[in-house]
Structure 1
């Protein structure tokens, strides 16, 4: 290396890069087993109970930007340090690519900001190729992962109900919160059109699971991360307890440049740049675990070149970075006259939906697309805002019976009266679906550009196929049917082909996975069934990169289960002297 390296004196059993769902879980399990851990995080330390960091229960006027999203992607009070763009840390896109990459650099990563939707993959989700002939099967099945889903449920806590739906496995559930008024209307409407709607499965405590975590008190601000640890964030539920064992040294503001290898090509630690002093450091370890996020871990591997690994570490298959895929997403909003002029009461509930629609058409092979989606809903009496079309002709065109000849909005008393009348009368829905992994959708190193730390950046190549576009069209048809069934009025025109039916850009749903996928064949995959690199036995990847396919479920619960499974396997292999 051409730069001066400051070497840490300790040689750790394990160096874990990234402290989100996968890295936090690996740190917790391995620290509990007595291993000495270096936990390396690109951002600062974070604890939502820290008064200097807490944003929960703060008013919009306490933000210097009144809550606007000029600094953080979802507003000043959203608990994600980062966003779609980070100053000095760019990424590039190939022509025709619209991929948007979200990064959250802080202890706990993105788990400090997410919907806490905690769904297990089902038996079909691990073996989709057997069903539709597309993509690839996982080298493992549901029965391999189920014991770890069970452990995650019990350790972290998730509410829900047992429904006995074949590909929506039940778990160990806490009591779910009651539906809110808009959800009762939606439930009535979905029943009319044959679309199921069941209680959500969110990792938010409706009952205490241990003395350190309180139950949810229904402030509806989970995106701010919970100061009483009532929801799941890796920082408070996994990393803090791991550190309390005395077996974890936490390195913050540490941007990992590459994984170091020895003369035999085995991992021996990592190089990182300290963001505070700008100097380069080396951490030595017997085992390296990457959990920096699917794309960040791929970037580290591709930048870890040596004479033994000329294509990048663990990349003899040349698959690292390939098969990148994100969930599909499309949405609609509606105005419901029956919900106008509501009585004022607190129905905030948890910071997410109390009910959702699981995919209901697994057995229908005549849809024109191969993979399914679930539907998420929102609405209710959250913090009011100026809203959806005041000072336009929209409401007069579609609902003159509501307003008569009077215009909506304006200012002064008229505006206040309208805000009160419309408060709580809007609702929305969004589909989150499964895309089919394809090798041509990928991230790779851009040899022409580096970030402010001198590290080559990622270049994205990604396009939706007709499969995903047709799926979005079906989402919109479902939304229209639901909106009509409850007597609501759609806000805006139904998206058409010209906008891919409202299909969001790849990456916008922040569920990217697949860049270091597992498989039984070392020539077509990066990892084995235990998240261990085929090429390097003392290297593991425990973030979403290991996924062979995404399913229509959010990935976090599966990342957690696989990280626990990989950690148990690693511990046994180390005790046996195999690693």
Structure 2
């Protein structure tokens, strides 16, 4: 359709999750009239339907029905539990199917805010060694940036969102700009000391995007401090944890420069052959089925790793017959995640006279210690641990044979202490781990679906052995009982940290994006979500997405001023 004045903007942002929210905030605050598109329904901060409900106020005692489990089958088979309190966040797999050559757990939420409402909030900087690892190991391609390029943008992001944590002075886990740390409980403090004494290893409180004190700026008056309810998965009406809904989107709206359009499924980029640039996007209105076009000088794709890959692969032209910007053939390839469901647990004695206050929405973190310095293993890269200690609750008695007064007495007393460590291990960027478009199978909108074909390799399998054994060894050294090493198995996607598909690199022949997150072959298109990642490290990636996005926006605005894009 022919554009008119209502169809043309300075910038378009596709997606409102962690990266899209930051792109919207930074672009609008720099004065650009920005259209922000999300394929899902509108969710405003505070409009979280189950956030304050008790379990007895929910149908079926909060339990999912068989129909719920069938409609949200992917989420139901992963770490996320489908309940009456959370089911509205998960994608209906019947309406939005995908294919699996090998099992892939693609957990999605189609709504404004995306997975920024659902994430685990763990916020860790990557280190210099993470950005240098590919070059050092001769794996895949070299990152086109280094830690020094991103360091000021980590600062910028952390000051705005608020990250609580403890400085540790570790080279492999650079310290952040922190709010006060949450407190470890008595068993965690004991284990921390044991690790230091027995192994000279560090355990710290999780670095998490929760407000433990007021922000150091006055730009987010809608955000309050964490009340340790640990109901974060429902959405936080206090705005205590960072989400696009509670933080970046309100900031963008305040500028008066943002037009937010929900229920807008971006199907493809529009390529202007004459000028060699992207002129806009094609959109399907999810409510009316109307086909629309919107124009802009610069476009930010932040639709999630596979949302962005889908748009790029579906955007074909005579210039890009194999997908937008896919001169290298790397589009859709190099899928990474963090492998997990491996570690150890133990029973802890001697602390039965102690408990904790509240339900802290955070755990402890053990930074990577393998393949650092003199430590050399039979595999490359490494892993960290997340976990914590707690006392078992009344659910431990569900299979207990006692009844009546004895059962009441047992239920009134807290159970034993347990301590657990779960590993987050790095997955290498293998070219053959890929996603492709299936034009024969359509979703509810008539768009092609994705098919996944990826799995971990030998390097990851060797790492998993160490992830279980090292966790058990540390728990045993602390004197804990019934130590159990475990490996429950893993399928790609389960870590919910999908990365790759449109990686950054130095050479257009082997990568999709340059050092500024621009598509090599079309520099007015920026990609700053997980699809841009060149390697995975072992730390949670969301903080790095935010820093990359803020850096890319600053570059885009400067390039627009110079008339270079």
Q: Distance in 2 between matches of 1:322 and 1:373?
A: 23
**What does 1:17-32 correspond to in 2, within 5 Å?**
17-32=14-29
Q: Distance in 2 between matches of 1:326 and 1:13?
A: 34
Native 8 Å contact 1:78 1:224 kept in 2: yes
Report Cα offsets for 1:463-504 as digits up to 9, x if no partner. 11011111111111022123323444448x644xxxxx4342
Question: RMSD of the TM alignment (CA)?
Answer: 2.5
Native 8 Å contact 2:500 2:530 kept in 1: yes
Bigger mean CA deviation after superposition, 238-247 or 523-532: 238-247
Q: Distance in 2 between matches of 1:409 and 1:335?
A: 24
Q: Which residue of 1 aligns with 2:292?
A: 281
Q: Which residue of 2 aligns with 1:405?
A: none
Q: Which residue of 1 aligns with 2:333?
A: 322
Q: Distance in 2 between matches of 1:48 and 1:62?
A: 22
Native 8 Å contact 1:15 1:40 kept in 2: yes
Report Cα offsets for 1:143-189 as digits up to 9, x if no partner. 00001001011111111222211121112111102112332243244
1:570 corresponds to which of 553, 556, 565? 556
Q: Distance in 2 between matches of 1:345 and 1:129?
A: 43
2:538 paired with 1:552: yes
2:180 paired with 1:180: no
Q: Which residue of 1 aligns with 2:248?
A: 238
2:378 paired with 1:373: no
1:525 corresponds to which of 495, 511, 514? 511
**What does 1:173-212 correspond to in 2, within 5 Å?**
173-194=178-199, 195-209=201-215, 210=218, 211-212=221-222
Aligned pair in 2 of structure 1 residues 230, 39: CA closer, same or farther (>3 Å)? same
Q: Which residue of 2 aligns with 1:442?
A: 434
Q: Which residue of 1 aligns with 2:463?
A: 471
2:449 corresponds to which of 448, 452, 457? 457
Report Cα offsets for 1:10-35 as digits up to 9, x if no partner. 30111111001111111000100111
2:226 paired with 1:216: yes
Bigger mean CA deviation after superposition, 181-190 or 443-452: 181-190
Q: Distance in 1 between matches of 2:410 and 2:429?
A: 47
Aligned pair in 2 of structure 1 residues 141, 335: CA closer, same or farther (>3 Å)? closer
Q: Distance in 2 between matches of 1:99 and 1:168?
A: 29
Q: Which residue of 2 aligns with 1:42?
A: 39
Q: How far apart are 1:256 and its partner, in Å?
A: 1.5
Q: Distance in 2 between matches of 1:334 and 1:548?
A: 33
Report Cα offsets for 1:51-80 as digits up to 9, x if no partner. xx2433421122224333554643446668
2:303 corresponds to which of 286, 292, 306? 292
**What is the DSSP-based 3-state SS (H/G/I as helix, E as strand, rest coil) of the residue aligned with 1:573?**
helix
Q: Distance in 2 between matches of 1:181 and 1:279?
A: 59
Native 8 Å contact 2:343 2:469 kept in 1: no
Q: Which residue of 2 aligns with 1:396?
A: none
Q: How far apart are 1:7 and its partner, in Å?
A: 7.8
Q: How far apart are 1:85 and its partner, in Å?
A: 5.7
2:391 paired with 1:386: no
**What is the DSSP-based 3-state SS (H/G/I as helix, E as strand, rest coil) of the residue aligned with 1:236?**
helix
Aligned pair in 2 of structure 1 residues 321, 224: CA closer, same or farther (>3 Å)? same
1:430 corresponds to which of 407, 422, 432? 422
Q: Distance in 2 between matches of 1:482 and 1:545?
A: 35
Native 8 Å contact 2:186 2:354 kept in 1: no
Q: Distance in 2 between matches of 1:334 and 1:567?
A: 44
Q: Distance in 1 between matches of 2:5 and 2:337?
A: 37
Q: Distance in 1 between matches of 2:411 and 2:2?
A: 60
Native 8 Å contact 1:7 1:281 kept in 2: no
Report Cα offsets for 1:171-227 as digits up to 9, x if no partner. 211110211233224324433541421232111111111333222222222223321
Bigger mean CA deviation after superposition, 187-196 or 100-109: 187-196
2:132 paired with 1:137: no
Q: Which residue of 1 aligns with 2:526?
A: 540
Aligned pair in 2 of structure 1 residues 446, 46: CA closer, same or farther (>3 Å)? same
What's the TM-score, normalizing by structure 2?
0.90
Q: Which residue of 1 aligns with 2:368?
A: 359
Q: Distance in 2 between matches of 1:337 and 1:563?
A: 43
**What is the DSSP-based 3-state SS (H/G/I as helix, E as strand, rest coil) of the residue aligned with 1:242?**
helix
Q: How many residues align?
A: 546
Aligned pair in 2 of structure 1 residues 27, 309: CA closer, same or farther (>3 Å)? same
